[in-house]
Amino acid sequence: MQRRTLGRNGLQVSAIGLGCMSMSSGYGPPADKGEMIQLIRRAYEMGVTHFDTAEAYGPFANEELVGEALQPIRSDVVIATKFGFEIDPETGRRGLGTNSRPEHIQQVADASLKRLKTDHIDLFYQHRVDPEVPIEEVAGAVKELVAAGKVRHFGLSEAGVQTIRRAHAIHPVTAVQSEYSLFWRGPEAELLPTLEELGIGFVPFSPLGAGFLTGQIDENTKFDATDFRNIVPRFSVEARKANMVLVALVKGVAERRGATPAQVALAWLLAQRPWIAPIPGTTKLHRLEENLGSVSAELTASDLEEIGQAAARLNLEGARLPEAMLKMTGR
């Protein structure tokens, strides 16, 4: 497995990481815990060293799962988790808004450390920008956690370039996490140039377009009632039908190169910058193996250019998130 470096402080991670959210929430009912522990450990055996979770996934259950799975190999891996939501500790109810008050960040860090069965968090992200708390206070709180040895690196998720610059001025931001794929190329306009200028790594979530770029989803696909894609405009039946032109493009290249659509999509993403380290999620071993195969997918410069230019000409339908969630992305 290739390695990539996030940020100027030298955080090294596997080129492909593992997003663990879907094991506990988001895409349907939670998967079997024992099977997911085995999957996480198998990922490590195959070279994955970067595992992404959050207190909000479950809530809490995903951190507990990741902590148990990685405890025997803790010193060999990078664990990323997140703070920033108000979650009822008794009921696990999450729909209470954001909370990045410094005292709350400290509390979340301590609780996450216990669930993750570790004495430090390698990469601690603000999950969503809190409009009620200046980002300077957030960065200052994480800086204190770094000084205390509880956190190694500071990250931001779905933050805009102004927020990133302000945070970075208080404490170095090692990585920014946002959605990025052929299905959503928004970061290319402002975010990627800013990260390059500041020396910050980029961790794309949903690098396969929440599964759409695998070629396994079409307008006839039925999602579980608890699957968040049911409320995403880009996953409406009409949008899926219209956006199949993108899948056809990726499939065409995949057939020529003896790869799968998912491998082509991930290989294209890896080729965009050497400091991009995507975190596709899965609950299936064969999908994990497929995703990791993207590191050795043989795409030529002309392949990459063809994919990028052709995809840019497409007018994909549907917003990437519901309106309420889009309002939670920072500026």
Closest among 101, 147, 99, 105 to 124, alpha carbons compared: 105
- Would you call 79 helix, strand, or coil by DSSP? strand
User: Per DSSP, what are the bridge partners of residue 12?
Assistant: 5
CA 21 to chain CA centroid, Å, is: 9
Q: Which is the catalytic residue, given 27, 57, 125, 180?
A: 57
Cα(63)–Cα(43) distance, integer angstroms: 17
β-pairing, 173-179 vs 151-157, is: parallel
Write the DSSP string, 264-284. HHHHHHHTT-TTB----B-S-
Which residues are CB-neighbours of 170 under 8 A, at least 6 positions away?
A: 135, 136, 139, 140, 143
Active site residue 180: no
- Which residues carry out catalysis? 57
